Amino acid sequence: MIKQVGSKVGWGPDKVRILTGSIGAQESTIETEFYIEHLQELDESWAKLGKLKTHKTWGKEFEKHTVSGTARWEIFRVVD
């Protein structure tokens, strides 16, 4: 769904990685990592997501696979 929805808000394959738990993390953990240049880009992407019918449909379908209230966003800074 990242290809169908993410590409419409600027999250192409060069900006998205999907990670799963391996060593020292729960194997059932799935994380989606997005690379953005600045917080304004994130805000603009979220605004676009809120208007996409495909994102709403995906959210309803995905809802049955998650525990309500457990979604959490963390924002990290790359340090060179």
Q: What residue segments make up the domains of the chain, in order of their start?
A: 2-63
pLDDT (mean) for 41-64: 88
- Measured CA to CA in angstroms, residue 37 lies from 17, 32, 61 at distances of 15, 17, 30
User: One-letter amino acid identity for 63?
Assistant: E
Dihedrals phi, psi of 61, to nearest 5 degrees: -70, -40
Q: What is the pLDDT of residue 73?
A: 81
Position 12 pLDDT exceeds 90: no
Write out pLDDT tens, residues 25-37. 888 888 889 898 8
